[in-house]
Structure 1
Amino acid sequence: MAGYFPPNGAISSHASTRASSPASSPLSPPAHQRSNALSNRLTSVLSASYADSDIRDALETLSLRGIHNTAEVRRQLRLDVQKEVVDSNAEIVRDFGKVAEQLKRIGTVISNLNQTCEEMRKHIVSARQETTPVLEEASALMKQKQEAETKQQLLQAFTQHFIVSDEDLLVLTSVEEPIDDHFFDILSRVKQVHRDCEVLLGGENERLGLELMEKSSRSLNSAYQKLYRWIQKEFRSLNLEDPRISSSIRRVLRVLAERPSLFHSCLDFFAEARDYVLSDAFHYALTDAVSGADGDRNVKPIEFSAHDPLRYIGDMLAWVHSTTVSEREALEALFVADGEELAKGIQAGLSSEPWSRIDEDKEVTFDGQKALSDLVNRDLIGVSRALRQRVELVIQGHDDPVTCYKVVNLLNFYQTTFSKLLGPQSSLSELLSTLEAFTFKHFDILMRDKVTNLSTDHSALTPPPDLSVPEFLQDALEVLTSLMKTHEASFGADPDPSNPAQENRFTPVLRAALDPFLDLAKSSAADLPTTTIQTIYLTNIHLTTRAAITPYPFASATHTPPLQSALSTLRMDLLDIQHRYLLTSSGLHSLLAALEPFSPHPSSSAALPQHHHHHHQQQQQSSKPNNIADITALPAFQPAALIATSQQLDDFLPSALMDATDNLKRVQSATFVKSVTEEAVEAFCRDFEFVEGMIIGADEARGNVDVDVDVDVVGDEKDDEGKDADGDEGAEENDKDWGLRKLFPRTTGEIRVLLS
């Protein structure tokens, strides 16, 4: 724009030139106005900023023209500038005219293009309207094609998975087709199809799933029936003794377990067949044993030993045990070798046959060992029945209690064995427990019968003259010894530590084989005439019984304490008898009876014979002496009586110990007699020491008393009694210086030496 318009500087310069020239025009303003205008102009010029871009451009334009600052130039500059501006504007107008013409042509082109586009748009819309149905139809066809291909793939996959060919179904259901790996492969596939039909039931179309499930169920049922018939056929010819049992049988059993009803029916058929086979084998072993060309003719039938119950029953039990072990081993290989597979099959079967559950709330688990034991028990039902009949028959016909008890122990041994082999709840274990109880009951009946027979036999109950153990008790103890030896051989010498002593296994035997006979023997003592004889007889009975059971802890644990208690009481009685015998034989009893009031232990009078004790009580009531010197006034301490007692003592002492031992000679235990006699001798010595002390004390007291008074007293007593034995009155007065010690000189030390 600087080229078309003059710069502000030039215009200002030109104006200032004109302002400086004199104003000759009449229209010119007055001088003072001009002066103000000039001043304003100057002020404007001076106030202008020459740093402005427009001024700078104008100055540059002037410098390019090479203008000189003259009046002409200044006049012409405006015109020139205006002219240039006009020319520039004209040129611009011409240029814009060209641009407008070009724009017009462009507008025409654009109009043509718009018209063409509109026509093309119309053609496109028309083409779209024509092609849309075709495209939609093509898309639908493509979609249908994809759906058809998908359906074809699904149909192919469905057919391959859910459809079983007729040839395969024929292999699965036809009896003529063999049961091999191909059969089990097809069966596995059909079972998979049957399980997968449950998925189809959850879809929209349930009919297909129901039809396929029904078809597969029929095929499976036919296949299981085929397996059931096949396994029955195999069981008829199965030889369990053959170690090479067919693996196909085990495989069929695992599969058949998925149908519990068929599986249990198969087991029932198997158990029935094995029951028949084993019952026949047992009968053969009982009656025929081993026969034939290849048999060992030295082996005799079990029935040949029927006369010996122990051997007969033992042989039968040994055969049953051997057969049970063999049967269990064979069935273990057949049924339990694949126990986990059987358990899975039975669990699957319970799901497919819910009506076969006994308790819906109880979880059913398969215990292979328990199932095996149950099957073995079922196989041996016939054998168990025959065994029970024969054992009961042979026991009922036998009357030896020892043999019966040996059979009890034998049955107990096998009961424990079968309990470990088949379980404590097994039929064989319970059968042997029943037979054990039956045999022991028969044993108890035999013992009761013996006791009943003895109770009515008075001659057998009569104690022997020598007071020894009666014969029936000796026989009972012999039988008991045999029983104890049998028990020891079977169960050991020590009682069962798991049971209290009073509850050990042998206690019932003692109650049956010992207690009744012991009670009979003790009751028979009542027929003896004196207490001493009864005590000796009872002592022999208890000593013999204790000696018989002491070597056997299982018997002595329960019965020794009561026997020992009874023997303690009897020993006290024997001690009293011996003590009385020593006092009576020595004559010391009369002195003790007289000295009873002076005794520091009044209860000691109980050891005296009853008649002496009664006499002393009368004497005590009549005389009641209160001074030890008064002993000399007692009849037993009169010189003649005291001398006689001293003489009797001297006669007694040499053979006293032998005589005392001989007094209990019928007690059948020298040790027991010696112990009782020694204790009685000790008591006798204590009694003698008491008498000796009283005599010494009386002499000492009498030496301090007036003899005349004493003699008078004695004389008065003699007067009261009358004449003495010789008929001389007051004979005692002639012997005033007699002493008790001189009349009875024996000392306690001498007595102990002589009786030691």
Structure 2
Amino acid sequence: MAQFQSFANDLSENFDDKLTASSTPQKSNALSNRVSSVLSASYADAEIRDALRTLDEKSIRNSAETRRRLRLDVQKEVIERNGNVIKDFGCVAEQLKRIGTIITSLNQCCEDMRQHVVAARQENAPVLEEASTLLSLKQELETKKQLLDAFNKHFIITEEDTIVLTSAPEKVDEEFFAILKRVKQIYVDCQVLLGSENQRLGLELMDQSSRKLNMGYQKLYRWIQKEFKNLNLENPQISSIIRRALRALAERPSLFQSCLDFFAEAREHVLTDAFYAALTGSSIENDQNPMTKPIEFHAHDPLRYVGDMLAWTHSATVSERESLETLFISEGDEISKGFLAGREAEPWTAADGEVFDGRKALGDLVNRNVAGVARALRQRVEQVIQNHEDPVLLYKTANLVNFYRITFAKLLSPDSTLLATLSSLEDSSLRQFRTITSDTVSSIQADLATPPSDLRIPDFLDEALTQFAALLKSYDSSLTPPASRAADFEPILTQALNPFLAACERMAKETDEPVTSIFLANCIIAVKTTLAPYDFVQARVSELETQLASINSTLTEYQHAYFLHTSGLHPLLAALAPLDDTPESLLKIPTLPPFQHQPLSDASQTLDEFLPSALMDAIQNLRGLVSMKFAQEITAAAAEKFCEDFEFVEGRLGRVDELMEQREEEGEEEVEEEEGGKEEVGGEEGKSEDGEERGERKEEELVPLRSLFPRTSGEIRVLLS
């Protein structure tokens, strides 16, 4: 390639020299076209590239002689190579002739062998046919043997398996359940054989498997009963074999129910024995447990005694339910499926048509297990109720029982014996509470006296409120639903509070005001203070506030009357009451006795003496009230009404003075006119005498009422504030 490039460069230089030296235009064009064609050749052409590669391999020197002989040298080389190829093909043709000879020989040998094979086949055909028949028979026998082995393996139970399934000494383990499952499957598969031609075989096998199944279930039934005698439900790792046995026995509902009855009876005795052991510290076998303090050790504290018994019962019930859930419903609804399958084997058990409900059966079983504990619990709690006459204790006991009754309702069915027992105990405690409260009220009503001298609440109400506060606190901690708390507590209000408050009202009726109102106010305030912190008695608190408002009004009127009479303002108000606001009526006021000069001056003096200590004296009237704030509110309201009354009197007196001044001015004008006329008629002597008489009368009539009663409403409000 490099040589060709050099050759092309040289050619281009020669061409340029010749083109410059040439004087003939035609030769220059021909040579230029030839060079252009050479230079325009593409080096990407495969043939040109191969030619250039060949030239490069030959290492041809680029000279004029070499370029002239290049075609001849190439043609010579091509001829030599073609001759070598022809020589090589001659050798190949020679070898092909030899191979043809060998193939002909092989074909002859194959033909001879084919003739020998045909002859041998004709001779061995009977033997092969007989061997084929024997092989077919052998295969048929082997198939029958396999079928027989499979049938025996599936439908026939060996003696060893039968012993494991039915023999009582043999233990119940995984092998037992595997054999039981296989026998059940055989019984089901025998139904397929009944549809074949040979029904006798199916009937015989079904009868055998049915008898073995029954014997297996009987063994399982006896084994479960034996295990139930020594079963420890407090053990968190109850044997999985027992759970599996129960699920398997559920396919025989009658046996399963019998096991449940036996188990319930055994657990009832166990729990009852445990309850007595917790009460006394020893079991029926008199085994003392020094680490456990018996419940009866706290029998002197009735509420704790009852609470400990109920707490133990709750703990035992929860443990019993959790343990039974592990036994009976920890793996879904396997027992329900077993019952459905068992109804086909025992169709008489399906007469009621009910579906087995695991949760309901569990609740019934727990109920039966704790029935003995419920009887013992009822006996002891009733003894506590009958032997105590403290109403607070009885009510707290009822609330405690109610608390556990609501708690047990989440664990047991509504018709549970234990729930019925707790409901009965709650009713019994409340009934005893009502009886004792009624007796207390009756004894108080028989011995009613007058209110105490200090007008404080009587001792029986103080004691009743102390007990009632304990009742409120106990009820507030109960589990009664918020929606019904007020309604449920209303009977307690009626029985334990209202009769005592009614007795106080009857005592107050034997006295006069303000003792009656003060005594009732003290009683109502004490009751309200006790009830106020609890939301479920707010309706009763509202009623008490209404009663207090009425008492407030009565005492305010009493204090107002005290202000009026003590201050001397009452006669003035009484005299002004019939008069209206017309000038004619107002001008009559100076003629009224209380508004004469001396009585009005005396009233003013009385008012001045009253005002300095008016508030202190008024509050002393209510000194029996336990609430000083209440007394101050009443006195302030009465003082305000007194101020309003004083403003009324002040206004009327001021109005009268204004009217009198107006009339005086009019009278002076008339007098002047009359005097002028008399001077002309009567002379100087008559004028002098009449003028003196009228002057003296006017001075006496024109004294302003406000000058005799000078106090203002502003001063009164300041002094009474």
Same fold (TM over 0.5): yes
Q: Structure 2: which amino acid aligns with 1:383?
A: V
Q: Which residue of 2 aligns with 1:561?
A: 542
Q: CA offset at residue 634 of structure 1?
A: 1.9
Where in structure 2 are the equivalents of 1:227-376 lying within 5 Å?
227-289=220-282, 297=290, 299-357=292-350, 359-360=352-353, 364-367=355-358, 369-376=359-366
Q: Give the match for residue 720 of structure 1.
A: none
Work out the CA distance in 2 between the residues paired with 1:236 and 1:180: 19
What is the DSSP-based 3-state SS (H/G/I as helix, E as strand, rest coil) of the residue aligned with 1:573?
A: helix
Aligned residue in 2 for 1:446: 436
Q: In structure 1, how many angstroms separate the alpha carbons of the residues matched to 2:265 and 2:237?
A: 22
Q: Which amino acid aligns with 1:321?
A: H
Which SS does the other structure have where 2:587 is aligned? helix
Residue in structure 1 matching 2:461, options 449, 461, 473: 473
C-alpha distance 293-463 of structure 1, shift in aligned 2 (>3 A): closer
In the alignment, which of 191, 194, 214 is matched to residue 207 of structure 2?
Answer: 214
Q: Secondary structure at the match of 2:238?
A: coil
Is residue 643 of structure 2 the alignment partner of residue 666 of structure 1? no
What secondary structure is seen at the aligned counterpart in 2 of 1:705? helix
Distance in 2 between residues matched to 1:235 and 1:287, nearest whole Å = 26
SS at match of 2:389: coil
Structure 2 match to 1:593: 574
Q: 1:555 to 1:449 in 2, by over 3 A?
A: farther
Amino acid at match of 1:418: F
Q: CA deviation at 1:209?
A: 4.0
Please tell me whether the aligned partners of residues 653 and 706 of structure 2 are also in contact (alpha carbons under 8 angstroms): yes
CA contact (8 A) 1:506 1:554 kept: no
Structure-2 change in CA distance of 1:477 and 1:202 (3 Å): same
Counterpart Cα distance in 2 of 1:294 and 1:226: 35
Q: CA deviation at 1:669?
A: 1.1
Residues 406-441 of structure 1, C-alpha deviation per residue, up to 9 Å, x if partnerless? 223332333344334446665434433432333233
Give the drift of 1:627. Answer: 2.8
- In structure 2, relative to structure 1, the CA distance for the partners of 1:589 and 1:206 (3 Å cut) is farther
- The match for 1:415 among 395, 402, 405 is 405
C-alpha separation in 1, matches of 2:235 and 2:663: 118
Q: What aligned pairs does 1:138-157 form with structure 2 within 5 A after superposition?
A: 157=150
The equivalences for 1:378-397 within 5 A come to: 378-397=368-387
Cα contact 2:276–2:283 (8 A) shared by 1: no
Are the counterparts in 2 of residues 510 and 555 from structure 1 also a CA contact under 8 Å? Answer: no
Measured in 1, the distance between the counterparts of 2:282 and 2:173 equals: 41
- d(CA) in 2 for partners of 1:629, 1:752: 28
Alignment partner of 1:534 is 2:499:
no
The match for 1:681 is 639
Mapping 1:542-581, distance limit 5 Å: 542-550=524-532, 552-581=533-562
Tell whether 2:378 aligns with 1:405.
Answer: no
- Secondary structure of the residue aligned to 1:499 is helix
Identify if the C-alpha distance between structure 1 residues 277 and 454 changes in structure 2 by more than 3 Å, giving closer, same or farther. same
Q: CA deviation at 1:157?
A: 4.7
How far residue 448 of structure 1 moved from its aligned partner, in angstroms, is: 1.9
Please give the alpha-carbon distance, in whole angstroms, between the structure 1 residues aligned to 2:435 and 2:236.
48
CA displacement, residues 231-286 of structure 1 (integer Å, 9 cap, x when unaligned)? 11222233334455333222211211111111111011011011112212222322
Q: Is the 8 A contact 1:200 1:206 kept in 2?
A: yes
> Aligned letter for 1:541?
C
CA contact (8 A) 1:419 1:425 kept: no
Q: Secondary structure at the match of 1:458?
A: coil
1:657 paired with 2:615, answer yes
The structural deviation recorded for 1:670 is 0.7
Structure-2 separation of matches of 1:243 and 1:569:
68
Per-residue CA shift, 1:78-111, capped at 9, x if unaligned? xxxxxxxxxxxxxxxxxxxxxxxxxxxxxxxxxx
Distance 2:301 2:157 in 1: 69
Report the Cα distance in structure 2 between the residues aligned to 1:378 and 1:699, rounded to whole angstroms: 100
Measure how far apart 1:708 and its partner are.
12
What is the CA distance between 1:643 and its match in structure 2?
2.2
Q: Is the 8 A contact 1:657 1:755 kept in 2?
A: yes
For the Cα contact (< 8 Å) 1:257–1:349, is it kept in 2? yes
Shift in CA distance, 420/580, structure 1 to aligned 2, threshold 3 Å: same
Whether the aligned pair in 1 keeps the contact of 2:399 and 2:475 (CA below 8 Å) is yes
Once the two structures are TM-superposed, the CA of residue 220 in structure 1 deviates from its matched residue by: 1.5
CA distance in structure 2 between the partners assigned to 1:264 and 1:448 by the alignment = 51
Which residue matches 1:95? none
The structure-2 alpha-carbon separation of the partners of 1:297 and 1:527, relative to structure 1 and needing over 3 Å to count, comes to: same
Alpha-carbon distance in structure 2 between the residues aligned to 1:291 and 1:740: 104
Q: For residue 449 of structure 1, give the secondary structure of its aligned residue in structure 2.
A: helix
- Give the one of 179, 183, 186 matched to 2:172: 179
Instruction: Show the counterpart of 2:702.
Output: 737
Q: Percent identity?
A: 51
Deviation at 1:548, TM superposition (A): 1.8
> Structure 2: 5+ residue runs without aligned partners?
1-135, 669-695
| Alignment-derived partner of residue 653 in structure 2 | 695
Partner of 2:590: 632
Kept after mapping to 2: 8 A contact 1:507/1:558: no
The residue type paired with residue 572 of structure 1 is S
In structure 2, relative to structure 1, the CA distance for the partners of 1:332 and 1:180 (3 Å cut) is same
Name the amino acid aligned to 2:486. Answer: Q
Structure 2 distance, partners of 1:211, 1:522, is 96
Aligned to 1:224: 217
Other structure's SS at 2:509 match: helix
* Equivalent pair of 2:472/2:534 in contact (CA under 8 Å): no
Note closer, same or farther for the CA distance 1:212–1:307 as it changes in structure 2 (3 Å cut). same
* Partner AA of 1:546 in structure 2: K
Give, in whole Å, the separation in 1 of the partners of 2:571 and 2:321: 87
Distance 1:581 1:383, change over 3 A: same
On the 8 A contact 1:467/1:533 being kept in 2, the answer is yes
8 Å Cα contact 1:501-1:558 kept in structure 2: no
Structure 2 CA distance, aligned partners of 1:339 and 1:313?
38
Residues 399 and 633 of structure 1: is their aligned pair in 2 closer, same or farther, counting only changes over 3 Å?
same
* Alpha-carbon separation, structure 2, partners of 1:174 and 1:215: 16
Q: Distance in 2 between matches of 1:599 and 1:350?
A: 104
Cα distance, 1:581 vs structure 2: 1.3
Q: Any conservation in 1 of the 2:531–2:538 contact (CA below 8 Å)?
A: no
**Hey, what does 2:100 align to over in structure 1?**
none
Give, in angstroms, the shift of residue 370 of structure 1: 4.5
Secondary structure in 2 aligned to 1:428?
helix
CA distance in 2, matches of 1:704, 1:654: 36
Provide the rounded CA distance (Å) in 2 between the counterparts of 1:644 and 1:679. Answer: 27
Please say if 1:582 is aligned against 2:563.
yes
| Structure whose CA Rg is larger | 1
Equivalent residue runs for 1:592-611 within 5 Å: 592-598=573-579
Q: What is the CA distance between 1:387 and its match in structure 2?
A: 0.4
Q: Could you tell me how far apart the structure 2 residues matched to 1:294 and 1:426 are?
A: 32
Looking at structure 2, the residues matched to 243 and 172 of structure 1 have their Cα atoms a distance apart, in angstroms, of: 29
RMSD of aligned alpha carbons: 3.5
SS across alignment from 1:665: coil
From 513, 528, 535, the equivalent of 2:496 is 513
- 1:499 counterpart residue number: 483
Question: Structure 2 CA distance, aligned partners of 1:352 and 1:531?
Answer: 91
Greater Cα shift, 200-209 or 234-243: 200-209
